[in-house]
Structure 1
Amino acid sequence: MLHIACDVHTHTIFSRHAYSTIEENVRAAAEMRVELLGSTDHFSAMVHPAIDGEYDLRDFQHFLNVHSWPRIWNGVRLLHGVEADIVDVDGHLFGHDIVCGRDITGRALRRPINLKERVFDECDYVIASVHDRSWAEGASLAQTTECYVRALEDPKVLILGHTGRSGMPYDLGEVLTVAKERGKLIEINEATFGDHPSARQSCRRIAERCAEMGVMISTGTDAHISYGIGRFDHVRSMLEEIRFPQKLVATRDAQTFLDVLGHAIGRPDGL
């Protein structure tokens, strides 16, 4: 059986359309014998839209206090991440153009801060995903491909999230080549198989090309409730069916994932 011992794409109640706390997710991970859990709430306008064209740092303070979480909790190694939306054909990530002038108490800052930089500073890694692809309407294949390439070039981005269901076409070979060169990961997403059956063949094709090209993948349940943590029935079945190499599964155990993370971005403190 293909071994998967890490769940590196999960959500808490901070994502608003998710239903469990971080502690509930950790306890579920321990019950499922998950060695490493990555908590990656949405960093996106769909969680906290702008009010009168402005964003408030107080709406994102969840990301600013993650150092209070233990690094090992109930025997589970815990990583701090975000799932950041790709917001344009240039591959920019949410928050890149947002400046906040007040701190979480509402007091004026001496120096305004960039929201993306402030949040990413607290993260061990970032998943870059497309949810609203309206900005890609009319874009060429070259443009959408370059969009993913530029997202991979962000120093904190480790994983391209659920590209098989984004509905945005791109040159798979070119994106996988860049991912391999930079030591970054392509996600095979469990929720896609369960919630988006029309995308299953696309996900299978991505996995097959990763195997052919020697590109490492990550697995994430994309769980929005603790019950889903660590449950990879669809992903494991598909990967076993195509005989995907175990050595290319970065989430096969905690040490492998931490090694990949360390080479691509830097090893988190305390782990």
Structure 2
Amino acid sequence: MDIVIDTHTHSIASGHAFSTIQENALAAKNKGLKLLCITDHAPEMPGAPHYWYFNNQRILPRFLHGVGILRGVEANILNVKGEIDLPSSSDQHLDWVIASFHEPVFKPASEAEHTAALINVIKSGRIDVLGHLGNPNFPFDMEQVLKCAKDNNIAVEVNNTSLSGKSRKGSDARCDRIVEIGNKIGVYFTTGSDAHFCEEISRLHLSVDLLKKHQVNEEKIISTSTSRFLNFLLLRGKLPIKEFENFY
């Protein structure tokens, strides 16, 4: 399985990561990636940048070190209503929006509340992918949420850091179940390193192993080709990115 995009990465702007966007792009080039998503933490995460940082990503070149750059964010799910911590005016500036639970922003609650929050953020139409869903602090009704994700063309991330045990300990078993159920339902998957240092860019081996274990069809893994990924964005209602016309 050939992964050509890392869809979840952080730079020093996130406040607790250690590499610049330039360093991350160079690492992506050296590891053979074609596209790289810049997904720093949104404002409610401690240490994260102001929302102007995300609106101003339009000044980023579409290519750095020969790697295509996707302008994105890892937004925080704020509440049961499924609101995220960026104004709707930011949406036009972003190619790729991850929505995730983070304990400093959304205090772990009941399974019913987590389920409602995920369904509502999916139905908001403002996000493209659910990030690191395996966190055992945020149990949810997997069947219900994954069915909603499929019905609304929202991707499900298989997060390599979650599987490594470095953070969100206990995620591995839950990630396994999410991939198993999601594969049966027919969701779109993506693979994210969740890199907080440039050497972690494209570190996706555990994610790939899990997808292979459950024999997920590559056509459902949008990070396996630039065409799959960019056409998924079109499916999400995004405008074509003219600089990437050779990647469609």
Task: Please name the residue that 1:108 is paired with.
Answer: none
Task: Count how many residue pairs are aligned between Structure 1 and Structure 2.
Answer: 240
CA distance in 2, matches of 1:142, 1:198: 20
Aligned-partner residue type, residue 156 of structure 2 = I
Shift of 1:220: 0.6
Aligned CA distance change for structure 1 residues 154 and 125 (closer, same or farther; 3 Å): farther
1:120 aligned to 2:91?
Answer: yes
Q: Mind listing any 5+ residue stretches in structure 1 that lack a counterpart? A: 50-57, 96-115
Larger radius of gyration: 1
Matches within 5 A, 1:224-235: 224-235=196-207
Matches within 5 A, 1:71-110: 71-95=62-86
Task: Please name the residue that 2:192 is paired with.
Answer: 220
Instruction: Please give the secondary structure, in 1, of the residue aligned with 2:118.
Output: helix
Instruction: Please give the secondary structure, in 2, of the residue aligned with 1:41.
Output: coil
In the superposition, the TM-score normalised over structure 1's length comes to 0.83
Is the contact between residue 160 and residue 207 of structure 2 (CA under 8 Å) also seen in structure 1?
yes
Is the contact between residue 73 and residue 96 of structure 2 (CA under 8 Å) also seen in structure 1?
yes
CA distance in 2, matches of 1:205, 1:187: 13
In the superposition, the TM-score normalised over structure 2's length comes to 0.90
Moved over 6 A (4+): none
Let me know the Cα RMSD of the aligned residues. Answer: 1.9
1:33 aligned to 2:32?
Answer: yes
Task: Please name the residue that 1:237 is paired with.
Answer: 209
Identity %: 31
Aligned CA distance change for structure 1 residues 83 and 240 (closer, same or farther; 3 Å): same
Aligned-partner residue type, residue 184 of structure 1 = I
Is the contact between residue 186 and residue 216 of structure 1 (CA under 8 Å) also seen in structure 2?
yes
CA distance in 2, matches of 1:185, 1:43: 19
Aligned-partner residue type, residue 99 of structure 2 = A
Instruction: Please give the secondary structure, in 1, of the residue aligned with 2:190.
Output: strand
Instruction: Please give the secondary structure, in 2, of the residue aligned with 1:128.
Output: strand
Cα displacement string for residues 114-146 of structure 1 (whole angstroms, at most 9, x for unaligned residues): xx2233331112100001175443x4x333212
Aligned-partner residue type, residue 146 of structure 2 = L
Matches within 5 A, 1:1-271: 2-48=1-47, 59-95=50-86, 116-132=87-103, 135-137=107-109, 139=110, 141-165=111-135, 167-194=137-164, 195-196=166-167, 197-270=169-242, 271=244
Task: Please name the residue that 1:99 is paired with.
Answer: none
Is the contact between residue 86 and residue 129 of structure 1 (CA under 8 Å) also seen in structure 2?
yes
Is the contact between residue 136 and residue 174 of structure 2 (CA under 8 Å) also seen in structure 1?
no
CA distance in 1, matches of 2:106, 2:35: 34
Aligned-partner residue type, residue 126 of structure 1 = V
